[in-house]
Amino acid sequence: MSPTPARLLAATVGGAATAAYYATPDVIRSRTARGWAKAALLLVATAATLPDARATWQHKRTAEPTPLTSLTWQDAADEVEAPGDGAPAPTFRSLPARKQAVIAGVGAAVMAGSVWATVATERWLYRRAETRRVAGARWAHTRTGLVMGGVAAALALIPDPPEGSDAPTGDATR
């Protein structure tokens, strides 16, 4: 399945913006100006993803629900609760306040860890490129940027899982 033109645009612009984002220290020496340039690049990359995101949203909004006639007997059997099945899983709001606090705390810790890992990785990439620049490598940050831009473009081209597939692998043979 080939990607849509909107997805190709998002991948191309996103990859180029990512490469430029990481290459800014080679071109712009002022830290403040670099920050503004990176903010502008983020806006450009985000704007490039909007057509694909809007098309996906519109498609999901107007998609017909799966008709009941297309269900197999196995699908219906999976939905029926057998006697002796456990109680349905509780929702977050039905949990006691203490459990809600623990879940929220774990979620906050995971989020903080994610932010920390992202910042640490960004700093490591910058320091590594700066070390190469000081050692005399030309366009040291740009080399990192080209690799990161290629990764960003490749990730943007990964196709969506097939519709109706709830398996993590995209296996719709169920």
Please report the pLDDT score of residue 59 as a whole number.
80
What is the count of structural domains for the chain? 1
Query: Residue 111 falls within a domain, yes or no?
Result: yes
**What confidence tier does 56 reach under pLDDT thresholds 50, 70, 90?**
confident
pLDDT at 78 over 90: no
Helix, strand, or coil here: 1? coil
Tokens of 87: 């109680």
Query: Residue 44 falls within a domain, yes or no?
Result: yes
Q: What is the mean pLDDT of the chain?
A: 84
**Domain residues for 12?**
5-57+95-156
Query: Residue 135 falls within a domain, yes or no?
Result: yes
Return d(Cα 59, Cα 52) in angstroms, integer: 11
Helix, strand, or coil here: 32? helix
Place of tokens 């998609």: 63
Query: Residue 138 falls within a domain, yes or no?
Result: yes
Please report the pLDDT score of residue 142 as a whole number.
96
Residues 131-146, mean pLDDT to the nearest whole number? 94
Alpha carbon 84 to chain centroid distance? 40
Query: Residue 162 falls within a domain, yes or no?
Result: no
pTM to 2 decimal places? 0.69
**What confidence tier does 2 reach under pLDDT thresholds 50, 70, 90?**
confident
Q: Which residue has the higher pLDDT, 94 or 16?
A: 16
Give the whole-number percent of the chain exceeding pLDDT 70: 78
pLDDT tens sequence across 97-114: 999 999 999 999 999 999
Tokens of 129: 């490129």
Cα–Cα distances in Å, from 23 out to 94, 113, 143? 50, 26, 8
Give the whole-number percent of the chain exceeding pLDDT 90: 57
Query: Residue 148 falls within a domain, yes or no?
Result: yes
Query: Residue 171 falls within a domain, yes or no?
Result: no
Query: Residue 168 falls within a domain, yes or no?
Result: no
Please report the pLDDT score of residue 55 as a whole number.
82
**What confidence tier does 51 reach under pLDDT thresholds 50, 70, 90?**
confident
Please report the pLDDT score of residue 136 as a whole number.
93
Please report the pLDDT score of residue 174 as a whole number.
47
